[in-house]
Structure 1
Amino acid sequence: MRLRDPSHPYMQTRSGGLAASACAYMLTALICFAPLFAAAGPHRAGEIMLDPEAVATVEGHQLRYQLGTLFVPENRENPGSRIIGVGFARIKAPKPTGAPPVFWLPGGPGLSVLGAFTGEDAASRSRLKSWASYGAVGDLVVVEQRGYSIRGDMLSIEAPASPLDRPSSVKADSAAMIALARAAVATHRDKDLSGYTIVQLAADVDDLRQALGYEKISLFGGSFASQWSLAIIRLHPDIVARAVLSSVEPLDGFDIPSQVYAAIQRLAFDADRDRRLAAYLPPGGLMAAVREVHERFAKGPIRVTLAGEAGGEPRTVSLGAEDFQLALTSHTDNDGAEWPAFLLSIYHRHYDAWARETIQARAAGDMALIRPLIDTSSGISDARRHRVQTDPAVDWLGTWRFAIDIASAPAWPTPDLGDALRTPEESPTPVVFVHGDWDTSTPVENTTGLLPYFRNGHAIVVHRGGHDGPFYQLREQPAVKAALYDFLRTGDAKGLPVSVTLSPPEFSLPDFPAPEQLH
């Protein structure tokens, strides 16, 4: 299970939604047309509401789309459950292709993406351009997550600030998370928080499929969305034609520390050979720097004082061994270009940037509830728990990636889903896995461990690929990207390679002159 924010694993930003009224007519299910983000009046489970078709501009071209809300029970195990909204969007293919629609699932948990249709920022335009390209396959349906959708609830809790005068610790953050869980239950007494599980998310997708009139669907997702997709394949196997999954998280969650550490080693190997970084490297390279900093902080914490900004008071933060463990895999997402400079700055005792990030991470802020509700419920088997807790790389990475969820799970109301769901089983569903071997959030061994269970599966290992979607990881391989679209359209994976290699990134340099006489 990936550490979703390397600086602090639980802080999420909450965005808001608007409400308005609706009108309805009947098709397969009751379909309503209403203004954007509408959800007024009583609704029935399985009902969908569609806005009038809108138009977005993608690089000078018009893209017609529909925004909608799916209404579902908050907890299908409770017959009297309230009805909640889940946002979605549909982009119809310009011409019928005969292929199943692609259901595009966001990661997180706690990622809302429908704002891309109206956003003016570069990320929104890039996402919209990518979504438009699926027209060559068929219809595209983007599905948001219950409890974190701009067309439904955005459940959150105010997380208090963590103290700056002492180092971070897993023990302290575990206690804080337990307190937050209790506060969330008390704050949201009108909600059934036990309904926010990956099982319910999988059922939401099936309900939307039926409401839109599709017999089968294909799945596309990375990171948590891959785990969500695996749950759909497990629980609703007859509805899934095929899937493309990247940066995979297995249903038996929490990553093996030594596999994460191995991804760091692979990244360090290339960075050690970058001539521009050579003057900053200690003998032994970046992994020697990791060992030296680890030993330095084992002797005790340090205090870093930053000058006040805009006439403000100086701020001091205490950084310790567990802070370094938490920071060790930060700055490695995507192409890992920032990580060497970040680590070397700490190695050379330039702590200001790290201190600034830590102060920001320890500040008070909204925490999206969907993240701990889903992850603590998905949980971990006893066998895998033993493996992660006794893994030798815990000495280097600590227990941040699993201990807080394990400790706080009893305090969250979502039920443990059990090993029947977590244990891999054989599946005939055709799946293409795309995974980078520099991925320190969900290591590549997650994919290689799952592949034997998919007799129609195919894995593409991307050397130097980080934690990102398949098309970004394959950005230097246009023919392979085209073959992935062919797979989504036809199910044919014969033209896909088993591995590709990306060019080394242009690593960033530390923002200070290289020390002299390092060697």
Structure 2
Amino acid sequence: MKKHIMLLMLILGIGSIAHAQKTSFHTAAAKAPEAGSMFIFPERILLENGGFLNAERATMFVPLNRSEENSDVISLDVYRFKATEKADPNTPPIFYLFGGPRFGGLEEQLEVLGYFEQTWQFMTNVADVVVVSQRGIGPSKPTTLIENTRNAQPTDVAFNDEAAVKDYQALLTSERNVWENLGVDLKGFTVVEAAEDVNDVRKALGYDKITLWGGSFGSHWGMSLMRMHPEIIERAILRGLEGPDHTYDHPGHTWNVYKRMAEEAESSEELKGLIPEGGLIAAVETIVKRLNENPVTVELENPVTKKMQKVLFDGHTVKQLTRGYSGSLEAWPADIITMYNGDFTKAAQKIIRRWNDQGKTYKTASYFMLDCGSGITPERSAEHLADPATELIETAWGYRNGCPCWDSDLGNEFRQNFECEIPTVMVQGTWDRSTPYENALELAPYFKNLKFVHLKRGPHGAIKAALKELPEFKKAILKFAASGDDSDLEDNLELSPLKWVVPE
């Protein structure tokens, strides 16, 4: 029996310590990759109608903090979809910059049949398409994500200031300490460093110039590169504009989106006879006033713990929900009408789901460093806090209470708008709830070679929505991407009216 046990131990590799020391395979010391180097390997994408597309995937090595002489090296995930025969080989490649910052990579999406054809193929008829990941996020290494392992569930869930801020800051401080104890230089995770990453990828792939295509944080990221290296950018296509001082969403400008939506919803056939007296905006004001004076508690079974759980709705809590709890533009009026009529059941379910999902959706250290570094100027911060809309909605709670934990700040000089001569198309939706329409209005005068497309009813994903619904827009935006000719792009476009959800 002993012989059999010893044999099994050897097969499984459970030898004695002394034996392991003599025959260790861990004696070689691998040389760290050099910053600026890239490892490219083939990637095959299964196509919807059969067959494969040959693409390229790469690991790009860049300095963690370029201001440090002996900086550590980190890696980025890069994809390249080569141009088709329809493309002019002289057209600069499209570098696509995702928003967030929360890009989780393309690996899972590319396994879904039809994703490549719907999302990328039309661009490859213009030029090569390159996707660069965001440092410290998703497939990039290190991925600065730590799960929030909250074990205890409280009896009451509420967004009261003191308890929520204390809990939130304790989590962020704990995460920051983990990475600093591991020796990771978090100060390297800024949008300025991320912009240099794009330039390093360009050089590694051998391109002289590029076309930028980005939205939301991707537009903020792209504008950083446009300011730092205008000589490498042939043209730019931007949507969901987030300028140098737009990381913290303006409460008044964000609330203007809902005013525009309310005006149209109130005249719709679907909601006829259901709109509260005075309209939807007045209804929101009434809900907040009621709960400030008389908070409401809803008790429900938590689907995860299977225990009864109370959700407190006071004036502060409801400000998390005045932009709706269902998640869609179409359902916002129904959410407001339902709460106005005193039913907070679905709103409570939303808050409990949010609580249960905190460990799954907890943001990375890089997310905070990137956004908190971009920050906000004192003047704009004062403007935000003085805006009457702060009584109705919450737009920057996470930044105001979380950013002090990270000590990341690029300074007010970074946050100044800059003049840009690069040919640029901005596509901005008037119903963009994440980066409001007024952002683009503020930025437009600084772009001296600009085509501004105002998209009525356009959401945050304005370009995607326009591509789906407006065939002429698709031809025109691709013509600009291929040649810089924006003459076919109209200044004012609109999407079809929404079919509003009717409250139960």
| TM-score, length basis structure 1 | 0.84
- Does structure 1 residue 132 correspond to structure 2 residue 100? no
Structure 1 unaligned segments of length 5 or more: list them: 1-39, 513-519
Query: CA distance change for structure 1 residues 210 and 162 in 2, over 3 Å: closer, same or farther?
Result: farther
**Secondary structure of 1:326's aligned partner:** coil
Is 1:195 matched with 2:185? no
- 2:111 is the counterpart of 1:119: yes
Letter of the aligned partner of 1:379 in structure 2?
G
Partner of 1:504: helix, strand, or coil?
coil
Name the amino acid aligned to 1:385: S
In the alignment, the residues of structure 2 paired with residue 218 and residue 234 of structure 1 have an alpha-carbon distance, to the nearest angstrom, of 14
Q: Mapping of 1:21-32 within 5 angstroms?
A: none
Q: Which residue of the partner structure matches residue 178 of structure 1? A: 169
Post-superposition offset of 1:270: 1.4
Root-mean-square deviation over aligned CA pairs = 2.2
Q: Is the 8 A contact 1:437 1:462 kept in 2?
A: yes
- Assess, with a 3 A threshold, how the Cα gap between structure 1 residues 386 and 350 changes in structure 2: closer, same or farther: same
Say if 2:249 is the partner of 1:255: yes
DSSP-derived class of the 1:244 partner: strand
Q: Is the 8 Å Cα contact of residues 297 and 321 (structure 1) preserved in structure 2? A: yes
SS in 2 for 1:194: helix
C-alpha separation between the residues in 1 aligned to 2:129 and 2:155?
A: 46
Residue 372 of structure 2, aligned match among 372, 376, 389: 376
Question: What secondary structure sits across from 1:52 in the alignment?
Answer: strand
Deviations 1:224-252 (A, max 9, x none): 11111111111121111111111111111
What is the rounded CA distance, in whole Å, between the counterparts of 1:370 and 1:407 in structure 2?
17
Aligned partner of 2:8 in structure 1 is none
Q: Does 1:77 align with 2:67?
A: yes
The one-letter code matched in structure 1 to 2:91 is: A
Question: Could you tell me how far 1:379 is from its partner in structure 2?
Answer: 0.6
* CA deviation vs aligned residue, 1:271-322 (integer Å, no higher than 9, x gap): 1122222232212222232122111111132111124659933222112212
Paired position in structure 1 for 2:498: 505
Asked if structure 1 preserves the Cα contact closer than 8 Å seen for 2:46 and 2:111, the reply is no
Of residues 304, 311, 321, the one that matches 1:327 is: 321
Does the 8 Å contact 2:109/2:115 carry over to 1? no
- Quickly say closer, same or farther: Cα 1:422–1:309, change in 2 above 3 A: closer
Larger Rg: 2
Match of 2:198 among 190, 202, 205: 205
1:136 aligned partner, one-letter code? N
Which residue of 271, 275, 279 corresponds with 1:285? 279
Q: Distance in 1 between the 2:302 and 2:378 partners?
A: 48
1:217 maps to 210
* In 2, Cα distance between equivalents of 1:461 and 1:315: 45
Q: Could you say what secondary structure the match of 1:182 adopts?
A: helix
Cα deviation per residue 1:374-424 (whole Å; 9 max; x = unaligned)?
A: 111101112211211111211211xx423542344332043x111222101
Q: Which residue of 2 aligns with 1:338?
A: 331
Distance 2:107 2:271 in 1: 39
Q: Which amino acid in the other structure matches residue 194 of structure 1? A: K
For the Cα contact (< 8 Å) 1:117–1:128, is it kept in 2? Answer: no
Of 281, 293, 302, the residue aligned with 2:296 is 302
- Specify the code of the residue in structure 1 equivalent to 2:226: I
Q: Which residue does the alignment assign to 1:406?
A: 400
**SS of 1:327 mapped into structure 2:** coil
Q: Kindly tell me: are residues 469 and 213 of structure 1, through their superposed partners in 2, closer, same or farther at Cα, counting changes over 3 Å? A: farther
Give distance in 1, aligned partners of 2:398 and 2:302: 33
CA distance in 1, matches of 2:206, 2:276: 61
Name whichever of 460-469 and 153-162 sits farther off. Answer: 153-162
Q: Does 1:315 align with 2:306?
A: no
Inter-partner Cα distance in structure 2 for 1:311 and 1:496: 53
Q: Tell me which residue corresponds to 2:3.
A: none
Give the Cα separation in 2 of the matches to 1:251 and 1:162: 39
Give the corresponding residue for 2:451: 458
Cα distance between partner residues in 2 of 1:272 and 1:429: 41
1:66 maps to 56
Higher helix share: 2
SS at match of 2:84: coil
Q: What's the secondary structure of 1:421's corresponding residue?
A: coil
**How far does residue 60 in structure 1 lie from its aligned partner after superposition?**
4.2
Q: Percent identity?
A: 32
Q: Equivalents in 2 of 1:330, 1:283: separation in Å?
A: 19
Counterpart AA for 1:339: W
Unmatched segments (≥5 aa) in structure 2: 1-29
Q: CA deviation at 1:451?
A: 0.5
The answer to whether the 8 A contact 2:157-2:310 is kept is: no
Conserved in 1, the CA contact under 8 Å of 2:99 and 2:215? yes
Aligned-partner SS, 2:413: helix
Matched, 1:93 2:111: no
Give the secondary structure class of the aligned counterpart of 1:68: strand
Of 100-109 and 126-135, the range deviating more from structure 2? 126-135
The aligned residue for residue 99 of structure 2 is: 107
Alpha-carbon distance in structure 2 between the residues aligned to 1:214 and 1:205: 11
Of the two structures, which has the highest relative contact order with CA contacts closer than 8 Å and spacing of 6 or more?
1
Using a 3 Å threshold, how does the CA distance of structure 1 residues 139 and 264 change in structure 2: closer, same or farther? same
Paired residues of 1:164 and 1:359 also in contact (CA < 8 A) = no
Distance verdict in 2 for CA 1:455–1:375, change over 3 Å:
same
The letter for the 2-side match of 1:210 is: K
